[in-house]
Amino acid sequence: MQEITREPIGIGQQRMCFVHPEDPRLAIKIGKNGDDRQNRADIRFYSGLKNQGAATGIHIPRFHGSCETNRGDGIVVDLVRNYDGEIARPLNWFLAHGYPIEEFEESLEALRQFFLLHLIVFDENLAIDDLLVQKTSASRVRLVAINRLGQVAKQGALAFLARRKIQRRWEGFIETVYFSREVLLQREAMLSLIHISEPTRPNAPSRMPSSA
């Protein structure tokens, strides 16, 4: 049994995420109040990926099995870190700190292509805080989906139907991104600057690296 003594590094609606006590490269996800439905859904998802022969560790963390802890049963996955060892932050954090959504369009497109290629029918409630921005080098980033992974459709004659569904869900997801609070606040800030007669240029954040 794994003894977890530190506070979680992330708390969602259904789960808490902890750094693995024996390996800082891994994370343990545990359902709140013993609710393991999301973990069981993830296990089915990773089983589907394995059956399809899809590689993980790029846009989806690798799965390392289940484990028992003093806080309940959990699943073990890669802890998404940047090239410098820092834990990757979610996309909404960058948007809230002034990074324009346009700087992530290439990374978003790469994720869409990954979903389509591997027939990943992600959850229709996928949100921007379910995506981590992983810096793979000083000049490259990629998006990693960590929650609401959905299910994996089977390859075959009906795969085109799954891709249609993925595309529809992606279009809905992108709409929620561009109408998210973080992006709307960016738009409002830009409009306010336009209406100032002699605007002073704010200290803009450095540009995000390019997509991996």
Q: Give the per-residue pLDDT at 91.
A: 97
- The secondary element (H helix, E strand) that includes residue 30 is strand 26-31
Enumerate residues 6+ apart whose C-beta is below 8 A from 10: 16, 17
Q: Give the per-residue pLDDT at 201.
A: 56
pLDDT tens readout for residues 3-58 = 999 999 999 889 999 999 999 999 999 999 989 999 999 999 999 998 887 777 89
Enumerate residues 6+ apart whose C-beta is below 8 A from 74: 2, 18, 28, 29, 30, 31, 39, 66, 67, 68
pLDDT tens readout for residues 90-114 = 999 999 999 999 999 999 999 999 9
Q: 3-class SS at 161? A: helix
Using the predicted structure, report yes or no on whether residue 205 has a pLDDT greater than 80.
no
Using the predicted structure, report yes or no on whether residue 60 has a pLDDT greater than 60.
yes
